[in-house]
Amino acid sequence: MADKDQQQVYPVVREAKNDDVESATVDSKELRKKKRLKCLAYVAAFAVFQTGIILIFVLTIMKIRTPKFRVRSATFESFEVGTPENPSFNLKMDAQLGVKNANFGNYKFHNSTIVFFYDNTPVGEAVVRNTKAGWRSTKKLNVVVDLSSRDLPSNMQLGNDISSGLLTLNTRSRLNGKVQLIFIFKKNKSIDMDCTLTINLAEKALRGISCK
Ligand X SMILES: *[C@@H]1O[C@H](CO)[C@@H](O)[C@H](O)[C@H]1NC(C)=O
Footprint on this chain of ligand X (rule: CB under 6 A)? 111, 127, 129-130, 176, 188
| Nearer to ligand X among residue 6 and residue 111 (C-beta) | 111
| Nearer to ligand X among residue 120 and residue 188 (C-beta) | 188
- According to DSSP, residue 66 is labeled P
CA angle 161, 205, 131 (to 5 degrees): 110
Q: Is 81 left (phi over 0), alpha (psi -120 to 50) or beta?
A: beta
> Minimal distance in Å, beta carbon 130 to ligand X?
5
| Nearer to ligand X among residue 51 and residue 176 (C-beta) | 176
| Nearer to ligand X among residue 33 and residue 129 (C-beta) | 129
Q: How far apart are CA 172 and CA 107, in angstroms?
A: 19
Q: What sections of the chain are H helices per DSSP? A: 2-56, 156-164
> Minimal distance in Å, beta carbon 113 to ligand X?
10
Contact present, 97 and 143 (Cβ < 8 Å): yes
| Nearer to ligand X among residue 101 and residue 180 (C-beta) | 180
DSSP character string of 81-132: E--SSS--EEEEEEEEEEEEE-SSEEEEE--EEEEEEETTEEEEEEEE--EE
- According to DSSP, residue 1 is labeled -
| Nearer to ligand X among residue 115 and residue 209 (C-beta) | 115
Q: How far apart are CA 124 and CA 77, in angstroms?
A: 15
> Minimal distance in Å, beta carbon 103 to ligand X?
16
> Minimal distance in Å, beta carbon 178 to ligand X?
7
> Minimal distance in Å, beta carbon 135 to ligand X?
20
> Minimal distance in Å, beta carbon 188 to ligand X?
4
